[in-house]
Chains A and B, each alone.
Chain A
């Protein structure tokens, strides 16, 4: 079974530029998550989708970050304009479905973003 796919793996941009990340979850997984992981920290949830709807985006900096999952499968996360503090690894994860208790989430390889 193929895992979560992400691209690109690395991206270097200058501040105030824009960048987009792509994620394709495990086949059949209805729930998709985007996390930000800063060096030395655990992943922090940015946004959670169930199929093509947003479940939780309370920690997404909406003035510069946006995300979509239009057809309920793959997803795109965009940053515009980027700031220095956005330098981090952006992780996509998926789980089979939503439950109150929480199901295991499986992570993709991540995109390492460096903002200069």
Chain B
């Protein structure tokens, strides 16, 4: 089983819709969960992080965490063409000091 799994996509949504990106992880000792956005040819940019079960909102972005199901998601409301990018889910390695395990990313395409 892969440590951090994401659907590679592409996920295509129309402008103004809600984009839902999902991630599952295998390490029950993981304590922190991060979403990064990566435009083609650019480096990852931190969007959200979440430590506790439930929802965390920041502007148009909501991160959702369910540790029992080992599942974390990112919702993007009112999607814009500028949100088109690859979204990387990263999970800290249990027992480590901050080491992150990244998924392969989900490519999101927002159509005007």
Interface pick from A14-22, A64-72, A95-103 = A95-103
Residues of chain B within 8 A (CB-CB) of A48 are: 97-99
Q: From residue 86 to 113 of chain A, which have CB atoms closer than 8 A to chain B? A: 89, 91, 95, 98-110
Residue of B nearest to A103 (CB): B98
Question: Contact between B104 and A100 (Cβ–Cβ < 8 Å)?
Answer: no
- Residue of chain A at shortest CB distance from B89: A42
Is A107 in contact with B100, judged by CB distance below 8 angstroms? no
Q: A99-B97, A100-B97, A107-B44 are in contact. Are A40 and B32 (CB under 8 A)?
A: no
Residue of B nearest to A101 (CB): B31
Chain B binding site: helix, strand, loop or mixed by DSSP?
loop
Interface size on B, residues (CB 8 A): 24
In the complex, chain A residues whose CB is within 8 Å of the CB of B31:
100-102
Closest to B46 in A: A104
Residues of chain B having any CB pair with chain A under 8 Å:
4, 31-32, 34, 36, 42-46, 49, 51, 88, 90, 92, 96-100, 102-105
Known: A48-B97, A105-B100, A107-B44; 9 extra A-B contacts, CB below 8 A, are A42-B4, A43-B100, A100-B31, A101-B51, A102-B92, A103-B98, A104-B46, A105-B98, A107-B45
